[in-house]
């Protein structure tokens, strides 16, 4: 329909052509604009299209719905199902844009279903999350949690809310569905890149966070390095901040004995700190020391040289998590999902120096 105060739409064309002349857009309007049946519109907007409708058709329907400002009339359905049409997204912190991107993806899919998303940074980080309401069970339809363990969410779930876990242990039985990144493959790609350049002395700046995602990175990196004769790996813990990354890198680089030729950082924030440490010690990146990150935050291209890092599709994670929760709320069983990641080589890595 026409936004309040925005003026009408002239019949036959102009801005907003194709929208209904008066009143609220209906599923029939969406079907007509997309050139499909109303049944197809129902399948797509109800997230029941996979295997029944092509991805291209699904995107055409979603685009038509967005263009028309279509929103289903959900009041009667909400009353019938006892729904609040509100989902809680729990994250460990808001100190990195990764979780902001996860929220963006989740909120976009939620809006397509007429749901709202409350973003809740757990006061205890990855530890037990407190109930942000008097009773989360009475206020929410479901919970999505990123980079945490399901047992940290007992109070929030209220003993029965459907739970979808993102970037978390796929074997956690409390989760009804999981959406994960292929973190292990990301770590293997980093190791393969550095080992292929000729690096044999590698140090990891390991995030001092007890969570599944960081344990996977450490294990996969160690296995990859162990598989190459003559290669060695050390690890130095660091809190997730630029300053702590700098201090951890200085400890590693200032130790007696042969210096590592590459620093593998669990996060782009740690990698930025590692680059600062190298400069303070009079080392050049990548001529004297190579540095890699993980996440591909905006920071990765703000530093000089730009960071070689693993790109994580955070928005896609949030969107897939919300689709899984919508499937659960429809009484169906979603499939667990693993999304691929990509190494992005940039200027912070090169062959090791001759010595």
Exposed, middle or buried: residue 335 (CB in 10 Å: 0-12, 13-18, 19+)?
exposed
Q: Note the pLDDT of residue 176.
A: 87
The answer to whether residues 204 and 124 belong to one domain is no
% pLDDT > 90, the chain:
56
Contact 155, 128 (CB under 8 A): yes
Same domain, 171 and 194: no
Query: Cα separation of 167 and 96, whole Å?
Result: 15
Same domain, 268 and 161: no
For the entire predicted model, the pTM comes to 0.74
Number of domains, the chain: 3
User: Do residues 293 and 193 both lie within one domain?
Assistant: yes
**In the β-sheet with 290-292, what is the strand arrangement from edge to edge?**
232-238, 201-207, 262-265, 290-292
Is the residue at 318 inside a domain? yes
> By C-alpha distance, which of 152, 274, 153 is closest to 207?
274
119, 139: one domain: yes
Mean of pLDDT over the chain: 85
Q: Looking up tokens 């919300």, which residue turns up?
A: 322
Tens-place pLDDT, residues 232-272: 999 999 999 999 999 999 999 999 999 999 999 999 999 99
Note the pLDDT of residue 330.
86
**Domain contains 16:** no
DSSP code of 50? T
Give the tens place of pLDDT for each residue, 85-141: 889 898 888 778 899 999 999 999 999 888 999 888 876 666 656 655 554 555 788
Handedness of CA 42, 45, 51, 53 (dihedral sign): positive
Q: How far is residue 15's CA from residue 3's CA, in Å, rounded to a whole number?
A: 13
Domain that holds residue 42: 27-68
Statement to judge: residues 94 and 47 lie in one domain: no
Contact between 268 and 295 under an 8 Å Cβ cutoff? The reply is yes
3-state secondary structure of 97: helix
Residue 298 reports pLDDT greater than 90: yes
Of the candidate ranges 288-292, 308-312, 334-338, the one whose mean pLDDT is the lowest: 334-338
Q: Is residue 11 part of a domain?
A: no
Residue 289 lies in a domain: yes
Instruction: Report the distance separating Cα 350 and Cα 132, nearest Å.
Output: 48
Specify whether 169 is located in the same domain as 204.
no
Mean pLDDT of 220-231: 96
Residue 344 clears pLDDT 90, i.e. is over it: yes
pLDDT at 124: 65
Read off the tokens for 96: 């990195």
- Identify whether residues 188 and 303 lie together within a single domain: yes
Alpha helices (H) along the chain: 27-34, 38-45, 55-68, 75-81, 97-112, 136-139, 154-157, 183-197, 212-226, 242-253, 268-280, 314-329
């Amino acid at each position: 329909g026409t936004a309040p105060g925005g003026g009408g739409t002239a019949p036959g064309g102009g801005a907003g052509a194709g929208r209904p002349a008066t009143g609220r857009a209906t599923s029939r309007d969406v079907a007509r604009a997309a050139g499909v049946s109303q049944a197809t519109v129902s399948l797509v907007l109800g997230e029941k299209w996979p295997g029944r409708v092509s991805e291209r058709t699904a995107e055409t329907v979603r685009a038509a719905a967005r263009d028309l400002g279509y929103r289903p009339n959900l009041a009667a359905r909400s009353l019938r199902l006892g729904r609040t049409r509100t989902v809680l997204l729990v994250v460990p912190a808001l100190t990195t844009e990764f979780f902001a991107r996860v929220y963006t993806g989740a909120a976009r899919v939620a809006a397509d279903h007429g749901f709202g998303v409350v973003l809740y940074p757990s006061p205890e980080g990855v530890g037990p999350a407190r109930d942000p309401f008097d009773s989360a069970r009475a206020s929410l339809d479901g919970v999505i949690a990123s980079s945490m363990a399901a047992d940290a969410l007992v109070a929030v779930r209220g003993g029965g809310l459907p739970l979808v876990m993102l970037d978390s242990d796929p074997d956690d039985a409390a989760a009804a569905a999981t959406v994960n990144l292929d973190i292990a493959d990301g770590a293997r790609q980093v190791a393969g890149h550095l080992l292929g350049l000729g690096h044999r002395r590698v140090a990891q700046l390991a995030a001092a966070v007890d969570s599944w995602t960081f344990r996977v990175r450490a294990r996969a990196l160690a296995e990859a390095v162990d598989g190459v004769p003559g290669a060695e790996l050390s690890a130095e813990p660091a809190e997730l901040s630029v300053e702590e990354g700098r201090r951890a890198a200085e400890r590693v680089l200032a130790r007696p004995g042969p210096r590592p030729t590459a620093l593998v950082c669990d996060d782009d924030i740690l990698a930025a700190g590692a680059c600062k440490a190298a400069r303070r010690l009079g080392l050049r990146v990548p001529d004297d020391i190579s540095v890699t990150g993980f996440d591909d935050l905006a920071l990765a291209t703000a530093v000089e040289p730009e960071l070689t890092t693993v790109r994580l599709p955070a928005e896609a994670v949030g969107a897939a998590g919300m689709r899984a929760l919508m499937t659960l709320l429809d009484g169906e069983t979603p499939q667990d999902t693993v999304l691929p990641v990509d190494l992005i080589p940039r200027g912070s890595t090169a062959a090791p120096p001759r010595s």
